[in-house]
């Protein structure tokens, strides 16, 4: 445990990244962000499983869970609530896109403060806007949380006001995919729908957990195509990620239009169920 | 001038990258690769102009040419032929896609060996294959050489044999866009056409130079949509980048099909014109 360190690289506290790292050169890697509670990651088995799966999509062998847990235990105190970010890259390589014959993946675990969410997010929900930046379709990379995140950055640059919690990202057809840092669900009666991520978007673990636990709340949950107009006609909308769990969406602005929803219970119920409170 | 250094970061020889650098975290930056001849970059004005323009697209203020030339002079000997890679990122930032209110761009200049091209590339041309990986359409980022290069990597993973020099990348419509590390031109009679890069692809400076000098060789040059079938019916095909200048393409394989061309002169003429020999 290292009180003054904020990151550990390949097991070495505070070591910096080589300029030859393909994560820096090309975004050739994946990452995950998770809530640390009492010094340990909430929902670690799901996070690690997703990390391994995302690495596999781009042909990286993920370091062992033991190494990563060891890194986490070096970086966080046993009573700490914080955020851990794990980044796995293909490792160092000479210039050029060709993957070296032998690679040693880079593993970075970084610590940051747990965000101070506005208390009204929990009681009154959050406001979203619809971004102009569209997500491009790339079935080979869809669903994974890779390091090529310029689209999210361009979308996030579209607003500065603090009252917008996140931005909705559409694909080129105008279908809802996700938000810049969240997945999204729309409830119609007892049906809970989240966008199909076969072409773009990040399939987060909280999204997967909600799909799995929905039946506990007498909801049938599935992934499907959701045009923006359909989203705006939902009975209830929630967003989710691994840090805040789930929030209800009580307002969406799109160009000059504004649609509002009364506060409801689903986000609070899910947050409690997933132990995010 | 530092004989044993391979990179200079923000003016400091051999300094490594912070894990907080947004280039590493998100691919939030741009880069250029250039040939160093006698210690100086070939076509520096064009490279710097493109670097500034690419930075501007994603909202980064590019460091001055003076700083970068100074870095280059620290890294390369006055008689050296090599490769310089310049990477500019948005700089360090806390976790999250939102761009910090104040940022200090990171500038990295790296040195690597000039590639040893197969001598037959110059006399007999090169062979390409058509990649399965398609380029996604993202008009907000099209044309710029940003650090989100996973598509190029996935495409480059499609072959291991040394006889394939580069791979042709198509868009979702089946139109030719570029190669993984090259731009491409097709000649039909006295018309020279290169793909339109409004939706995807990197608009390299050699491509721009060829568009500009084509009239010297009595060719009319323009950017246009080029379906793969049209490319394969061209009289002559050349590819280009800032390191090798231009090579003729004498064979393209696509699935089980193979199309060949006799050797011609255009690539050699262009290479000489652009002082790449």
Q: What is the pLDDT of residues B193-238, one digit of tens each?
A: 999 999 999 999 999 999 999 999 999 999 999 999 999 999 999 9
For residues A260 and A36, give the distance between their C-alpha atoms in angstroms, rounded to a whole number: 33
- CA of residue A125 relative to chain centroid, distance: 19
Q: What is the pLDDT of residue B137?
A: 98
Report pLDDT for B256. Answer: 86
Taking CB atoms and an 8 Å cut-off, how many pairs form between chains A and B? 157
Angstrom CA distances, A73 to A5, A41, A77, stand at 12, 10, 7
Dist CA A126 CA A261 (whole Å): 10
Please tell me the predicted confidence (pLDDT) of residue A97: 97
Domains A7-113 and A119-273 in one fold: no
Q: Which residues of A139-150 are buried (b: 16+ CB within 10 A; e: fewer)?
A: eebbbbbbbbbb
Q: Tell me what the pLDDT averaged over chain A comes to.
A: 96
Among the listed residues A78, A79, A63, A81, the one whose alpha carbon sits nearest the alpha carbon of residue A9? A63
Token code pair at residue B270: 């262009």
What is the distance between the alpha carbons of residues A94 and B39, in angstroms, rounded to a whole number? 21
B116 pLDDT higher than 80: yes
Q: pLDDT value at position B3?
A: 61
pLDDT at A144: 98
Burial B51-69 (b: 16+ CB within 10 A, else e): bbebbebbebebbeeeebe
Determine which of A31-40, A149-158, B1-10, B54-63 has the lowest per-residue pLDDT on average: B1-10
The whole-number average pLDDT for the span A194-198 is 98
Q: What CATH topology corresponds to A119-273?
A: D-amino Acid Aminotransferase; Chain A, domain 2 (3.20.10)
How close A142 gets to chain B, by Cα (Å)? 11
Quick check: B274 and B206 in contact, CB under 8 A?
yes
Average the pLDDT over B129-154 and give the result.
98
> For residue B185, is pLDDT > 70?
yes
For the whole model, what pTM was predicted? 0.97
Task: pLDDT band for B72, please (50, 70, 90 cuts).
Answer: very high
CA A87 – CA B20 distance, rounded (Å): 11
Mean per-residue pLDDT for A102-108? 96
Q: Quick check: B110 and A19 CB within 8 A?
A: yes
Which of A16, A95, A157 faces B18 most closely, judged by CB atoms? A16
Does the pLDDT value for residue B51 go beyond 80? Answer: yes
pLDDT in tens, A209-251: 999 999 999 999 999 999 999 999 999 999 999 999 999 999 9
User: Which pLDDT value is given to residue A40?
Assistant: 94
pLDDT of A75 above 90: yes
Q: Quick check: B181 and A94 CB within 8 A? A: no
Cα gap A196→A35, rounded to integer Å: 26
Q: Does residue B2 have a pLDDT over 70?
A: no
CATH of domain B7-112: 3.30.470.10
Contacts of A27 in chain B (CB under 8 A): 26-27, 147-150
Partner-chain contact B172 A137, CB within 8 Å? yes
Q: Are A168 and A129 in contact (CB under 8 A)?
A: yes
Q: Where are the domains of chain B?
A: 7-112, 120-272
Of B26, B31, B85, the CB nearest to A149: B26
Tell me the torsion sign for CA atoms A159, A160, A163, A164. Answer: positive
Could you say which architecture CATH assigns to the domain A7-113?
2-Layer Sandwich (3.30)
Please give the torsion angle defined by the CA atoms of residues B264, B270, B275 and B277, in that order, rounded to the nearest 10 degrees.
Answer: -20
Per-residue model confidence (pLDDT) at position A48:
98
Predicted interface score ipTM higher than 0.95: yes
Mutation pick from B19, B96, B114, B170 vs chain A, by most beta carbons of A within 10 Å, is B19
How do residues A23-62 score in pLDDT, each as one tens digit? Answer: 999 999 999 999 999 999 999 999 999 999 999 999 999 9
Token readout for B146 is 């940003």
Tell whether the model's pLDDT for residue A2 goes beyond 80: no
Give B98-115 pLDDT, tens digit per residue.
999 999 999 999 999 999
Residue B277 predicted with pLDDT over 60: yes
CB B238 within 8 A of CB B249: yes
Burial tier of A173 (Cβ tally within 10 Å: 0-12, 13-18, 19+): exposed
Nearest chain B residue to A107 by CA distance is B19
Per CATH, domain B120-272 is 1.10.10.10: no
């Amino acid at each position: 445990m290292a009180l003054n360190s904020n990151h550990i690289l390949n097991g070495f506290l505070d070591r910096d990244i080589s300029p030859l790292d393909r994560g820096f050169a090309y975004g050739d890697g994946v990452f995950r962000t998770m809530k640390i509670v009492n010094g340990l990651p909430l929902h670690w088995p799901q996070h690690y499983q997703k990390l391994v799966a995302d690495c596999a999509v781009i042909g990286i062998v993920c370091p062992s869970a033991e190494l990563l847990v060891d890194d986490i235990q070096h970086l966080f105190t046993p009573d700490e609530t914080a955020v851990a970010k794990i980044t796995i890259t293909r490792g160092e390589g000479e210039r050029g896109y060709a993957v070296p014959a032998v690679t040693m993946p880079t593993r970075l675990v970084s610590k940051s403060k747990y965000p101070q969410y506005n208390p009204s997010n929990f009681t009154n929900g959050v406001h979203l806007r619809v971004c102009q930046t569209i997500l491009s379709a790339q079935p080979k990379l869809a669903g994974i949380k890779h390091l090529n995140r310029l689209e999210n950055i361009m979308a996030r640059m579209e607003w500065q006001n603090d009252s917008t919690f996140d931005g909705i990202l559409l694909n080129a057809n105008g279908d809802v995919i996700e938000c810049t840092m969240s997945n999204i669900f729309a409830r119609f009666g007892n049906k809970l729908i989240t966008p199909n991520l076969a072409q773009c978007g990040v399939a987060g673990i909280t999204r997967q957990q909600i799909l799995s636990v929905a039946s506990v709340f007498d909801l049938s949950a599935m992934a499907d195509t959701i045009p923006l107009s359909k989203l705006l006609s939902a009975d209830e909308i929630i967003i989710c990620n691994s840090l805040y769990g789930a929030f209800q969406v009580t307002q969406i602005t799109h160009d000059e239009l504004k649609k509002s929803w009364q506060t409801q219970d689903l986000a609070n119920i899910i947050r409690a169920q997933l132990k995010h409170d």
